[in-house]
Amino acid sequence: MGDSNPDDAPIDYMARTHAWYGALGYGAPYRYARHDDAPFTPLAKPLSACRVALLTTAAPYRADKGNQGAGAPYNAGAKFYEVYSGATAADHDLRVSHVAVDQAHLSDDQNCWFPLPALRRAAEAGRIAGLTARFHGVPTNRSQRHTVDVDAPEVVRRCREDAADVAVLVPNCPVCHQTMTLVARGLEAAGVPTVVMGAAKDIVEHGGAPRFLFSDVPLGNAAGLPYDVVSQDRTLALALRTLEAATGPRITVRNPLVWPGPAGWRRDYLNLATLSPATIAERRAENERAREVAQAVRDATLAGDQAAK
């Protein structure tokens, strides 16, 4: 047997992000959530009788927040810091420029990260009973405590209000995968079966997701290939099958989907080897500016909450 090709192995996002932020001059590496066990709730009825809640880390497009399209630079101004909800009967414009997705391989087809149309088709086909009245947007927080103590309980509350039988969670960036894993754990502990559809295998498994469909594709494409309805429907179908077939926690199913772009796409994300010291210094400055913007958005959100009380 010959040596395996490193370009064929899933990206180690924890190692990649640790190296990146270390090179940018930050201190101790971020400690991703780790759980060796996981809560697990089996389906109480056939999936065809279940109403599905869709959870996303994508953000609603806001014209006053700058460039949020495919290929846009990281846009901290488009972040959100509270759970939001939207009607599943309506169409929405959701973007992912506010999180660290793989912009080099991102299209403007939001169905790659927000599978609402695919879920509607699944309902029309009788695969599921339907969608809950609302989908829910989940903020990405580096603070695991905030996710576990604030955001996850709020998601559980809204899913209960909507009488969700099961939930499908679609993360985008590395920390998004941690966030959705923690939220999935909260939902399962509350009696709602879940499946995470993601692309960062190491982070989701490290965090102890109950059920996980892994697609080995660039971040931002976990719900299927761009402009490829067949791949999007097949990816959702496999997620639903993972949801109903699991007999215990910490189940990972690998999507056979193959990314159609250049074979070396895994080398593109946060690749220090392609950057000069001067460029790395520029990235550090950009990151500091983004942190300041994000903090301002967070502070404004919290101030609004206090004013509303």
Task: Kindly report, residue by residue over 228-260, the tens digit of the pLDDT.
Answer: 999 999 999 999 999 999 999 999 999 999 999
291 and 174 in one domain?
Answer: no
Q: 39 in a domain, yes or no?
A: no
283 and 239 in one domain?
Answer: no
204 and 142 in one domain?
Answer: yes
Distance CA(129)–CA(208), nearest Å, equals: 28
Containing domain of residue 293, as a range?
275-309
DSSP-derived 3-state class of residue 94: strand
- For residue 53 the two structure tokens come to 């809640």
Q: 38 in a domain, yes or no?
A: no
Domain final residue, candidates 207, 237, 252: 252
224 and 309 in one domain?
Answer: no
In this predicted structure, what is the pLDDT of residue 296?
87
**CATH number of the domain within which 116 lies:** 3.40.50
pLDDT by position in tens, the chain (length 309)? 333 455 689 999 999 999 999 999 898 899 999 999 999 999 999 999 999 999 999 999 888 887 888 888 787 787 888 999 999 999 999 998 888 788 888 889 999 999 999 999 999 999 999 999 999 999 998 899 999 999 999 999 999 999 999 999 999 999 999 999 999 999 999 999 999 999 999 999 999 999 999 999 999 999 999 999 999 999 999 999 999 999 999 999 999 999 998 888 999 899 899 889 999 999 889 888 888 888 888 888 877 665 555
Task: Report in angstroms the alpha-carbon separations of 24 from 27, 98, 109, 293.
Answer: 9, 20, 31, 18
158 and 74 in one domain?
Answer: yes
187 and 151 in one domain?
Answer: yes
306 and 199 in one domain?
Answer: no
Domain count across the chain? 2
